[in-house]
Amino acid sequence: MTNWYIVSGITFAVFLTEALIHYNYGISESSKQPLSFSNFQFPKGNRLLIMAGIVMIASTISGSLVTLAENKMS
């Protein structure tokens, strides 16, 4: 079970970082600004909660599938 927490936690961190990059890429494209660290922003309110919720669901599924695969292989 510890493996599940590790895999899910790492997946959540990586996927949330990717989601924030994609979010900022969309903002920079729509405003025709270059994508840079100085323009980086976080979604506000419900948008951030929805994004984190989607990433949490994907991370949970990923952690479960990795744990299931490890159990089948051992």
Which amino acid, residue 38? Answer: S
Q: Give the pLDDT confidence of 55-72 residue by residue, as tens digits.
A: 999 999 999 999 899 889
* Average pLDDT estimate for 25-49: 89
Mean of the pLDDT values across residues 45-58? Answer: 95
Residue 10 has pLDDT above 70, yes or no: yes
**What's the pLDDT band for 37 if we cut at 50, 70, 90?**
confident
Which residues span the domain enclosing 6? 2-73
For residue 1, pLDDT beyond 80: no
Is this model's pTM higher than 0.85 or not?
Answer: no
Count of domains forming the chain: 1
Please say whether the beta carbons of 68 and 60 come within 8 A: no
31 exposed, middle or buried (CB, 10 Å; 0-12, 13-18, 19+)?
A: exposed
What is Dmax (Cα atoms) for the chain? 51
Contacts of 64 (CB under 8 A, 6+ apart): 4, 8
* Residues 42 and 20 sit within 8 Å (Cβ to Cβ): yes
